[in-house]
Copies of this chain bind each other. A is one copy, B any other.
Amino acid sequence: MLRGHLTAAMAFAAMLAASSARAEEPITLRAMGSFHVGGRLVELTGKPVKEMALTPGGVPARFDPNGTYQVEQMYVQYFLPAREVGTVPILFWHGGGMTGVNFETTPDGREGWLNMFVRKGWGVYVSDAVERGRASWAQYPDIFKGEPLFLTTSNPFTRFRIGDGPDSYDPDPARRRLLPGSQFPNDGYENFVKQIVPRWTTTDDATLAAYLAEIDRVCPCVILFHSQAGQFGFKAAQARPGKVKALVAVEPAGVGDPAKVDALKGIPTLMIYGDFIAEDARWPKIRASGVAFAEAIRGAGGHVDVVDLPAIGIKGNSHMMMMDRNNAEVAGVIEAWLAKNGLTRAP
């Protein structure tokens, strides 16, 4: 189901674009670095003081757990190419239980979207949202409410539309039942699982607040967001419409505030979905929610392209399309869309 001005010719252009910057060429950066942003201070009181050695045989140190804690900040790492092609940088926001690692080297060792976009001349900001990765997490239940959720190795295999049915996972890659034509790098699945981090379901407000702090520091920008970050990407754009020049929603699992779609009418938006959605237990409903939100934005006078990759001839994509074997081709679709929307200049 292809909407807006995206055409098969554009998909072909995307494929060509995807192959034009080669992994063998050096990457030249005018800057790279990282920072933490956002967060707040929380005071804890009434807890016993401990004396403990942190290293076996080490010198004991005194730890008074009462006091002020820095919590709910996020981590951002940036790579700015020497020759910038994007008119603004692009922010990559990962999904739930994930970190920015999603966008780096793929689990089977190929380049990820970070390298691909930087090679094309995009300044890229990859982040770890509140509660995970290098953003750190806060003690619960004192500060974070509720317990974190841990995923078994097999859990994402069907939920992310890699395996064909609930019992399709097997520890032996050769014995897994993949969806037909799956582009997920099955041999790298164990490495993918190593990327997964614990997830709370109670930190959404803090996560959005930190993302707004990132926007205030870095933007104007494009925001590319995945899965759980659907709600954060749309809500952040609703809160900072003047700073967000385009949105790329990669299989958003949540959407923005329906009462504020008006704020999004000036922000060109791409929604992109992979394969195997119709047959899935949950994804038809998740996609329908995204498409309904797109319709609401259009109703307010906005512009949203909803791209189902199979409809433009790109088949087999899982929920983790940034690491699928054809990730360069999918990146090419996004890059072509950004160019079409005036977000690139001549290199």
Contact = CB atoms under 8 A, between A and B. Distances in A.
B154 A115 contact: no
A44 to B, nearest CB: 8
A315 interface: no
Contact of A159 (B61, B196, B230): B61
Nearest to A137: B198
A75 interface: yes
Contact of A136 (B39, B136, B171, B198): B198
> Interface extent on A, as a size class?
35 or more
A152 B115 contact: no
Contacts of A58: 253-254, 286
Interface stretch (A29-37, A260-268, A269-277, A319-327): A29-37
A136 B196 contact: yes
A296 B104 CA distance: 43
Nearest to A82: B26
A201 B136 contact: no
Contacts of A228: 54-55
Given A69-B152, A254-B55, A254-B56, A134 B99 contact: yes
Copies of the chain in the assembly: 2
B28 A149 contact: no
Interface in A132-155: 133-134, 136-139, 148-155
Interface stretch (A5-13, A187-195, A239-247): A187-195
Interface in A75-100: 75, 77, 79, 82, 96, 99-100
The 6 closest A-B pairs by CB, nearest first: A67-B152, A36-B194, A33-B105, A55-B254, A34-B104, A73-B194
21 contacts: A26-B82, A29-B29, A32-B79, A33-B104, A33-B105, A33-B111, A33-B112, A33-B115, A34-B104, A39-B194, A54-B201, A54-B228, A59-B285, A65-B152, A66-B152, A69-B152, A70-B190, A70-B196, A134-B134, A136-B195, A136-B196
